[in-house]
């Protein structure tokens, strides 16, 4: 491919700028939907119907004073926000937003994407630990405990998709779904969405950042531009998570009439709205309830789905 087009694709569309744009739009959609579920208005004044509110929040935080407390581990403390933004951005480049991904796909890139998410959680722990604040340390340890619980069902439900389609490349999985796998593998879809909610640290699983208990968890000591980047990283994780769920379960960009990118974004919006709906329905679970619930309910369900897909979908190759 022409190197210039390649670089433009990485930087602008559907690359970094487009992903940042999507991050702000999805945060707006999430906040508006969450507010409407609660009979409120949501963002209203920044731009038409509040659409510029996430950007306004980002700019406001960037303009604040950048404070590094005295006793923190400054190498980790100062650099984690940048790494936290880079990981979802890099991972999203492997997902075929407009039919083909930006970076060259290869067999096994689903493992790469899920591992990148694991590394993100390690960074969350390091951020909380480096803050040397009592509340941050509690938040960091809770993040690791939660990670032990949701990571396995997520991997196993992704593996059942791989087992059904017969390929470990996200591109191939998303292009080979005549019927979306959410309908063929409903148990796996529900397990994946639940584990996604835990990975994105949203209610009912926002335990590492529980606002009413430990102030702000692992984010407590961050302020100003570093906090702006961490919040942007959360939004980018939402974009990446919904993109991965769409590619794996909802059939990627396939659909009649409209171009693939439009279908992809519509499906991602569906996942985001589903996530906001779940967010407004539940109370926050306690960490031991979450871990025991995952091990007692989600993991057996995902293993069941894996077994079913092995015996019902065996031999379906993508050719």
Q: How far is CA 78 from CA 67, 88, 135, 224, 233, in A?
A: 10, 18, 18, 12, 15
- How far apart CA 164 and CA 167 sit, in angstroms, is 8
Using the rule CB under 8 A, is 36 a contact of other proteins?
yes
Using the rule CB under 8 A, is 206 a contact of other proteins?
yes
Q: Provide, rounded to whole angstroms, the least separation between the CB of residue 266 and other proteins.
A: 17
Binding to other proteins (CB under 8 A) within 249-288 occurs at 277, 280-288
Using the rule CB under 8 A, is 296 a contact of other proteins?
no
Binding to other proteins (CB under 8 A) within 143-202 occurs at none
- Per-residue x/- mask for other proteins, residues 125 to 154, rule CB under 8 A? ---------x---x----------------
Q: Provide, rounded to whole angstroms, the least separation between the CB of residue 297 and other proteins.
A: 12
- How far apart CA 233 and CA 50 sit, in angstroms, is 21
The tokens describing 127, both together, are 């951020």
Q: For residue 198, give the nearest of 83, 126, 289 by alpha carbon.
A: 289
Q: How many residues line the site for other proteins (CB under 8 A)?
A: 32
| Window contacting other proteins (CB under 8 A); options: 1-9, 114-122, 213-221, 232-240 | 213-221
- How far apart CA 100 and CA 95 sit, in angstroms, is 8
Q: Provide, rounded to whole angstroms, the least separation between the CB of residue 205 and other proteins.
A: 10
Q: Provide, rounded to whole angstroms, the least separation between the CB of residue 308 and other proteins.
A: 25
Candidates 16, 35, 116, 266; binder of other proteins (CB under 8 A) is: 35
Per DSSP, the residues of 25-94 read HHHHHHHHHHHHHTT---S-SSSGGGTTHHHHHHHHHHTS-----TTS-HHHHHHHHHHHHHHHHHHHTT
Site residues for other proteins per CB under 8 A: 33, 35-41, 44, 134, 138, 203-204, 206-207, 210-215, 277, 280-289
């Amino acid at each position: 491919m022409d190197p210039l087009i390649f670089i433009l694709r990485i930087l602008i569309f559907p690359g970094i700028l487009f992903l940042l744009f999507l991050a702000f739009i999805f945060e707006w959609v999430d906040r508006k939907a969450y507010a409407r579920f609660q009979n409120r208005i949501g963002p209203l004044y920044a731009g038409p119907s509040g659409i510029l509110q996430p950007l306004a929040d980002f700019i406001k935080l960037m303009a604040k004073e950048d404070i590094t407390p005295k006793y923190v581990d400054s190498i980790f403390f100062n650099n984690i926000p940048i790494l936290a933004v880079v990981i979802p951005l890099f991972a999203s480049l492997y997902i075929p937003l407009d039919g083909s991904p930006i970076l060259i796909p290869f067999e096994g890139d689903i493992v790469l994407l899920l591992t990148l998410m694991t590394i993100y959680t390690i960074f969350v722990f390091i951020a909380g630990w480096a803050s040397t604040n009592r509340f941050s340390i509690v938040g960091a340890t809770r993040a690791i405990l939660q990670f032990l619980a949701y990571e396995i069902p997520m991997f196993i439900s992704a593996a059942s998709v791989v087992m059904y389609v017969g390929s470990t490349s996200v591109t191939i999985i998303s292009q080979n779904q005549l019927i979306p796998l959410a309908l063929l593998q409903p148990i796996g879809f529900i397990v994946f969405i639940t584990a996604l909610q835990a990975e994105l640290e949203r209610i009912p699983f926002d335990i590492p950042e529980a606002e009413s208990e430990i102030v702000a968890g692992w984010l407590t000591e961050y302020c100003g531009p570093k906090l702006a980047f961490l919040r942007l990283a959360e939004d980018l994780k939402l974009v990446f998570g919904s993109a991965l769920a769409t590619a794996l379960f909802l059939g990627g960009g396939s659909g009649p009439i409209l171009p693939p990118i439009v279908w992809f974004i519509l499906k991602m919006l569906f996942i985001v709205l589903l996530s906001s709906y779940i967010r407004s329905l539940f109370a926050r679970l306690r960490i031991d309830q979450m871990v025991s619930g995952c091990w007692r309910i989600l993991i057996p369900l995902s293993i069941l789905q894996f077994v079913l897909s092995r015996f019902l979908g065996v031999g379906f190759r993508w050719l």
